[in-house]
Amino acid sequence: MRAPQPNQYRDSWCGELTPDEVGRQARVAGWVHRRRDHGGLIFIDLRDRSGIVQIVFHPERGAELFALAEQLRPEHVVSVSGELLARSAENVNPEMATGAVELEVSQGESLASSHTPPFAIDDDGPVDETTRLRYRWLDLRRAGMQQTMITRALITQTLRQQLVERDFLEIETPILTKSTPEGARDFLVPSRMNPGDWYALPQSPQLFKQLLMMAGYERYFQIARCFRDEDLRADRQPEFTQLDVEMAFVDEDQVIEVSEAAIAAVFEATDFPIAPTPWPRIGYDEAMLRYGSDRPDLRFGLEIKDVSEQLRGSEFKVFESVLSGGGTVRALNAGAREMSRSELDSLNEVVQVHGAKAVAPIVVGDGGWTGNLAKFFTAEQITAVNQALEASDGDLLCFVADSPSVAPVAIGALRLELGSRFGLIPDDQHSVCWVVDFPMFEADEESGDLTALHHPFTAPEGDLDDPAALRSRAYDLVVDGNELGGGSIRINTPEVQSRVFDAIGLDADEAKERFGFLLEALEYGAPPHGGIAFGLDRIAALVCGRDSIRDVIAFPKTASGADPLTGAPAPADARQLRDLGIKPQTPPAAS
């Protein structure tokens, strides 16, 4: 950090005083981190954003100054000045960056007192999350949270620098806009000046950044706030931040190249070890086959195989019923594992969350299979599956039989569960890949209706007369099984855009109502263009080793969408609602 601008409070940062400065007068300000009264001397660890320095009060410096020291308690705010001294060799604290020096206080001033905090600020131990969020300003003082916020700022600065160096323009897009279907529920904002009409908070700047390409700006980026009214989880908040990027006159390779340069620079700046670029690309179909996920975690094995053909015609009715109905059987080799019956039964719960009925576990023994299920399969079938799964005696084989859409995802979840349960996922190694060549649409199993797998502005690849077979020009960046970002080459002609809308059941009138401004813009010369969006919260959580993005957001919401700090969401004043022409349908909950 640069030296602070000298003023009446400080001329130095607490955490940056060094032995080279011993003998000089220094003035520092901050919060009392710890206080130790040694009878004749009072030692205080003083903390500011840069770190901690030990300051010492001597009684011979004056009764008034020593009385100040006696009154100080944790989180009181002070400004002090004095001579910087070297600590004696036996008193050097190697755990502190400033552990070789201390400030002998000759002048001091109390700037603010503090109540006793509801949890220890000088300890990064566990604290109930609701309490942390209720007193978030105190939680943000703790060392772990401060380092996280500093790292997050470094991530943003690095990304901005990388893009500015590549001639990108930073342009803001509206927060109050029109509701457009992009896959999640919008947050709506009533318009007082237009009674009965509503704004929507943007789920992403998708349409605006495409319009900027049509407007000729060619390279745009934005650190964008986005809003989605959807159920929350560890990697999802109602409001979040993304790096939004768009480029004109490019194809997938150019977008991926710029993305790799920016994200690799972030990993280097934050000392996050990752393979050098270019990063490998895996097709969607291959990812779903081998890992059961379009966000594959490549840090461990347990690869999945399709063993449908090897098992077709068996006497096991469960498998045969699935296969005859057009389903599939997927399997993985969990290795030589000893699991109790209850542990094996618990695996059913993992796949049932994803729609599958059960896991069929079989143990390999004496070149064949052991257990009750073995009798339903021929020696040839057993040999063929063992070869496909590279199975040896003692290995546990896990099978999931279900529809082609359910079985891969269910056994993919099982793969992750087994990897975690058996300690196969290394904490100190990281995997990275691009997932490419996605299907353009996914079909509802009951109705057969198509929906866009990414969004309906993604450029298709293939025969437009066969929408179900179309692939998309989309790409996702995946690190350690987490999707950090995704994007695509966009549609740049009104004819193709109309065909895609038609494929998802959006007729011309409805398309014009919802996206008329985009369709009109496409009539005025739209260049080939594409882009990507990266979740800054997810990137920060990854590099900081946090399990939840709530821990890398300064003021997040709880899992229920509430803010214990401010009390949001809260009932609106009756007068405000009257001015907006809104009448509540449900009374506010009793407080």
CB neighbours (10 Å) of residue 63?
A: 9
Give CA–CA dist 81/24, Å, rounded. 10
* Per-residue pLDDT at 438: 97
Q: Is residue 565 very low, low, confident or very high in pLDDT (cuts 50, 70, 90)?
A: very high
pLDDT tens digits, 195-211: 889 999 999 999 999 99
Cα–Cα nearest to 547, from 242, 158, 148:
148
* Per-residue pLDDT at 444: 81
pLDDT tens digits, 261-302: 999 999 999 999 999 999 999 999 999 999 999 999 999 999
Reduced to 3 states (helix: H, G, I; strand: E, B; else coil), residue 566 is coil
Give CA–CA dist 202/183, Å, rounded. 12
Q: What CA–CA distances, in Å, run from 65 to 44, 84, 197?
A: 14, 17, 64
pLDDT tens digits, 156-207: 999 999 999 999 999 999 999 988 765 678 999 999 999 889 999 999 999 9
Cα–Cα nearest to 174, from 217, 203, 216, 215:
203
* Per-residue pLDDT at 588: 57
pLDDT tens digits, 385-409: 999 999 999 999 999 999 999 999 9
Cα 528 vs. chain centroid, distance in angstroms? 30
Average pLDDT over residues 439-464: 89
* Per-residue pLDDT at 549: 94
Cα–Cα nearest to 541, from 123, 299, 241:
241
3-state secondary structure 401-457: EECCCCHHHHHHHHHHHHHHHCCCCCCCCCCEEEEECCECEEECCCCCCEEECCCCC
pLDDT tens digits, 61-75: 899 999 999 999 999
State yes or no: pLDDT of 487 exceeds 70.
yes
State yes or no: pLDDT of 445 exceeds 90.
no
* Per-residue pLDDT at 585: 76
Q: What CA–CA distances, in Å, run from 324 to 1, 316, 373, 443, 530?
A: 67, 12, 19, 21, 42
Q: Which domains does the chain have, with CATH numbers?
A: 14-112 (2.40.50.140), 300-425 (3.30.1360.30), 433-515 (no CATH)
Give CA–CA dist 496/50, Å, rounded. 55
Measured in Å, how far apart are the chain's first and last C-alpha atoms?
46
Q: DSSP character for 4? A: P
3-state secondary structure 140-159: CCCHHHHHHHHHHHHHHHHH
State yes or no: pLDDT of 591 exceeds 60.
no
Q: How, if at all, do strands 219-227 and 169-170 pair?
A: parallel
Task: Sort residue 62 into left (φ over 0), alpha (ψ -120 to 50) or beta.
Answer: left
Q: What percent of the chain has pLDDT over 70?
A: 98
* Per-residue pLDDT at 349: 96
How high does pLDDT run on average in the chain? 94
Cα–Cα nearest to 451, from 180, 203, 183:
183
What is the CA angle 536-157-558, rounded to 5?
30
Q: 496, 528 in Cβ contact below 8 A? A: no
Q: 242, 534 in Cβ contact below 8 A? A: yes
Two structure tokens written together for 591 = 């407080």
pTM metric for this prediction: 0.92
Cα–Cα nearest to 81, from 155, 146, 24, 145:
24
State yes or no: pLDDT of 560 exceeds 90.
no
Q: 44, 69 in Cβ contact below 8 A? A: yes
Q: DSSP character for 215? A: T
State yes or no: pLDDT of 513 exceeds 90.
no
Task: Sort residue 121 into left (φ over 0), alpha (ψ -120 to 50) or beta.
Answer: alpha
Average pLDDT over residues 138-151: 96
Give CA–CA dist 244/534, Å, rounded. 7
Please report, as a single letter, which amino acid is at residue 66: F
Please report, as a single letter, which amino acid is at residue 214: M
Does 569 sit behind a cis peptide bond, omega within 30 degrees of 0 on the bond before it? yes
Q: What percent of the chain has pLDDT over 90?
A: 85
